[in-house]
């Protein structure tokens, strides 16, 4: 599981994402799929970059905030610790493993849009025990699908 954050036009957004995968090794590409229904969607569509944070045991609270609440109702970024990257993309302070990358392409996949990201800046990278969808099954998605 990942928490994907974005900034565009003075707006910030982010949500918990399970639909995500490494998509190419050479060149390095990663794809995250964002639901068209989510408050994150319009921001992620306008953003030049996305930050992708791996979720480990220590981030259950963050996973609940970003996966169980919607930016339509709460300001998630007033409820957690983060810092803006040079371009304003919010980097969450808790997760030790994340990358920031440019969105190269957006692919219509149906009710989700696949954002193909070229990682530009990494943090962490050691072995981690990343949580899976099953580990977070108790979280009720904050935005209706
Ligand atoms: C286990 C789990 C997996 C999820 N996977 C995705 C996903 O892959 N893509 C996505 O856009 N939303 C996914 N969601 C839903 C959003 O994280 C959730 O609805 C969130 O509250 C949306 O926040 P927003 O409206 O502020 O964008 C998932 C939620 C949960 C609980």
CA–centroid distance for 141 within its chain: 14
Q: Are 4 and 14 a contacting pair, CB within 8 Å?
A: yes
pLDDT tens digits, one per residue of 63-113:
999 999 999 999 999 999 999 999 999 999 999 999 999 999 999 999 999
Domain covering 2-136, topology: Pnp Oxidase; Chain A (2.30.110)
- Specify the range with the lowest mean pLDDT, choosing from 17-21, 22-26, 89-93, 123-127: 123-127
Among 5, 44, 141, say which to mutate for ligand 1: greatest number of ligand atoms within 8 Å of CB. 141
Q: Are 51 and 20 a contacting pair, CB within 8 Å?
A: no
Tell how far the Cα of 21 is from the centroid of ligand 1, in angstroms: 15
145 against 42, higher pLDDT:
42
Q: What is the pLDDT of residue 99?
A: 97
Pocket of ligand 1 (CB under 6 A): 13, 15-19, 33-35, 38-40, 67-72, 133, 136, 139, 141-143
Q: What is the pLDDT of residue 116?
A: 98
Mean of the pLDDT values across residues 121-131? Answer: 90
Burial class (CB in 10 A: 0-12, 13-18, 19+), 105: exposed
Q: What is the pLDDT of residue 126?
A: 82
Atom of ligand 1 nearest to the CA of 144: 19
Tell how far the Cα of 67 is from the centroid of ligand 1, in angstroms: 5
pTM of the model: 0.98
Q: What is the pLDDT of residue 125?
A: 76
Q: What is the pLDDT of residue 145?
A: 84
pLDDT above 70 covers a percentage of the chain that reads 100
């Amino acid at each position: 599981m990942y928490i994907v954050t974005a900034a565009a036009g003075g707006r910030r957004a982010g949500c918990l994402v399970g639909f995500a995968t490494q998509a190419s090794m050479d060149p390095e590409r990663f794809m995250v799929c964002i639901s068209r229904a989510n408050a994150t969607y319009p921001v992620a569509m306008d953003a030049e970059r996305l930050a992708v944070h791996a979720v480990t045991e220590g981030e259950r609270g963050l996973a609940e905030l970003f996966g169980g609440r919607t930016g339509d109702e709460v300001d998630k970024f007033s409820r957690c610790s983060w810092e803006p990257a040079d371009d304003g993309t919010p980097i969450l302070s808790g997760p030790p493993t994340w990358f920031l990358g440019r969105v190269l392409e957006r692919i219509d996949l149906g009710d989700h849009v696949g954002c193909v990201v070229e990682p530009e800046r990494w943090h962490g990278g050691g072995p981690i025990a990343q949580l899976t969808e099953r580990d977070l099954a108790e979280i009720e998605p904050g935005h209706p699908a």
